[in-house]
Amino acid sequence: MSEGLSFTFTDEQNMFRQAVRELVEDKLAPRAAEIDEADEYPWDIDELLVRNGFAGVSYPEEFGGAGGGAVEMCILTEELSRVSAGVALIPAVNKLGAIPVLLAGHDDMKRQICTGITEGTHRMSYCLTEPSSGSDAGAMKSRAVKDGDDWILSGTKRFITGAGASDLYTYFAVSDPDGEKGRNITAFLVSKDMKGFELGRKEDKMGIRGSPTREVILDDVRVPKENVIGEVGQGFRYAMRTLDFSRPTVGAQALGIAQGAFDYASSYVRERNQFGKPIAAFQGLQFMFADMAMKIETARMAVYRAAVAVDSEDPNVSYWAAIAKCYASDVAMSVTTDCVQALGGYGYIREYPVERFMRDAKITQIYEGTNQIQRVVIARSVLGKQ
């Protein structure tokens, strides 16, 4: 999908989508229900993505990545999410953790991250949310204290996706307690091997199972100055820019969830007979599926419009990213709920995947900024800050 108002993908992007789809249908689809049930990180699928070159998608080739941009990342995420939203978080969360480094890190750090993720030697997580600061991320309590050339970090982060599977963490902490809120936070690259690094409890989640979510606890962790990402005091700005770049990916995850549920349910209603004919012949269901199709296709346009905004460095990327994330996730929740309804009692049973899609859909309305926050961002773009 090129810049401007083009609504088509390039031949290379279509070939890439097909390659991902073939892998997903052959290797991931048979494992999806098991991954959800066991809620264990699927290292076999992670390694499969690495071997097939998908782990490095959207990372600059000059630093050891596989190339591509936000559009390719959204294609990858959408296709994985059509079968397993939890697995889709493997590349998505790596990229979330890496974006601050790509935005502001020094070249050696970029090379370490891009090459490591592409080759499967590193995996990353993004540590922003805390027990007492979710939407108000600038109110974080984590602290970074200068000690010679090093920094001493302490604090607790909550709901960290990928924690435990990841070995590297982008960690945000207040480096100037007396400074202006939002201009007193610094970003650091932290390794699980650093003394004082701990993992808290693993959350037992409703959806996106198979993707671990845990607390990350730093107890006087010594971090060398080389691990400061960008400029001291600019961490909050990097954090917010990161979310602008990652929200289209969440939109793509939501889009894939909706499409996966829709595909299964539409096949089901063509085969399920009641009153002597397929239930797809009943107008009530036909209108339901027509509405779902309209929502999904509109969400797809929003997601890839936002991805193009990222790739083209559109100055209005915050606006497009918020629309894509908010609209696509609302669509995912609506569509998956209707798909459960279309299957009737069977839709409520775990043997059928639509209930899993419905559980997975909910988090897309919450993380990467709740949809209420997305509406604030959109309103500010169209009405100005009040």
Which amino acids are annotated catalytic? 368
Distance CA 46, CA 37 (A): 18
Of all helices (H) and strands (E), which one includes residue 199?
Answer: strand 197-202
- Encode 51-118 in three state secondary structure: HCCCCCECCCHHHCCCECCHHHHHHHHHHHHCCCHHHHHHHHHHHHHHHHHHHHCCHHHHHHHHHHHH
Calculated CA dihedral for residues 217, 221, 224, 226, nearest 10 degrees: 0
CB atoms within 10 A of CB 7: 11
CA 340 to chain centre: 24
Contact 156, 130 (CB under 8 A): yes
